[in-house]
Amino acid sequence: MQITSIEIKQVKRLAKQLESTYPELKLGQRLDKAATQHLGVRDYHEAYRLYDKWVMFHVHASEDADRVSKCAYCEFSFAPDIKADLQSHRKIHDHFHEACVSLGYQPGNYVQRELMKHDGREQAASGQSVEIRVEGVLMLLRGWFDRSLADAIHGKYWRKHPTFEVYVAMILDTLGSSYGDLQRVLKERYGYLPGVIQAGNSYWYPRND
Ligand SMILES: [Zn+2]
């Protein structure tokens, strides 16, 4: 069973609610009861152990000797033998996950984004038909969009970040003239919103006004 920060928060909330039903129980006992009721685990300790496992599941040690590990899920790099680093990762990991669940969308990680950009560019340049080339350029833009959105999650302004469809309308100036014929198709389908993202930039930022 996968237990994430969301389930842990639900258990804590339930344990609080149980206070009125079981006023004689201590907090630890109520947490155990809530964990069993909500997640079917033996006790809160087991729930937390599974949650710990989830936090570290995508963390891979670096092949270099610099002792830095990277999480393939939230993309945080840290030294796993430093307690403060572990805590920072847990916080960022939880936040990233909760944002993705709320968005109903998980932006691709670095490896996936690079693949989208590479394959997308290739397909946009050499696809057999305009439609296939448009699909290619959308794949490239999805790679950019995912990076912009991941940045917005870490910067805590993800709730304001445009959807992919709106982002496409904003990014056309950055896409540049090499996709001239495809630009026209994209403008027809997604519209054109210049000036929000500066030409040459692929990140969306909230305005300060
Ligand atoms: Zn992580």
Structure tokens at 6: 């969301």
Give the residue-averaged pLDDT of 2-23. 96
Give the residue-averaged pLDDT of 154-169. 97
Q: What pLDDT shows up at residue 159?
A: 97
pLDDT level of residue 62 (50, 70, 90 thresholds): confident
Q: What is the DSSP string of the chain?
A: ----HHHHHHHHHHHHHHHHH-TTS-HHHHHHHHHHHHH--S-HHHHHHHHHHHHHTTEEE-SSTT--EEETTT--EE-TT-HHHHHHHHHHHHHHHHHHHHHT-----HHHHHHHHHHHHHHHHH-SSHHHHHHHHHHHHHHHHHHHHHHHHHTT-GGGSPPHHHHHHHHHHHH-GGGHHHHHHHHHHH---TTSS-TT---------
Q: What pLDDT shows up at residue 15?
A: 97
Query: At residue 66, does pLDDT exceed 90?
Result: no
CA of 209 to the centre of ligand 1 (A): 33
pTM of the model: 0.90
CA of 90 to the centre of ligand 1 (A): 7
pLDDT level of residue 208 (50, 70, 90 thresholds): confident
Chain-wide mean pLDDT for the chain?
94
CA distances from 112 to 75, 90, 140, 200, 206 (A): 12, 22, 11, 22, 25
What are the structural domain ranges in the chain? Answer: 1-57, 110-190
CA of 79 to the centre of ligand 1 (A): 12
CA of 94 to the centre of ligand 1 (A): 8
Contacts of 118 (CB under 8 A, 6+ apart): none
CA of 125 to the centre of ligand 1 (A): 35
CA of 144 to the centre of ligand 1 (A): 21
pLDDT level of residue 180 (50, 70, 90 thresholds): confident
CA of 82 to the centre of ligand 1 (A): 15
Specify the higher pLDDT residue, 96 or 209: 96
Q: What pLDDT shows up at residue 179?
A: 87
Query: At residue 65, does pLDDT exceed 70?
Result: no
Tell me the per-residue pLDDT of 73-103, one tens digit each, with 9 for 90 and over: 999 999 988 999 999 999 999 999 999 999 9
CA of 9 to the centre of ligand 1 (A): 18
What values do phi and psi take at 71, rounded to 5? -90, 125
Q: What pLDDT shows up at residue 176?
A: 82
Most confident of 61-65, 122-126, 174-178: 122-126
Specify the higher pLDDT residue, 67 or 140: 140
CA of 92 to the centre of ligand 1 (A): 7
CA of 202 to the centre of ligand 1 (A): 24
CA of 99 to the centre of ligand 1 (A): 13
Q: What pLDDT shows up at residue 209?
A: 58
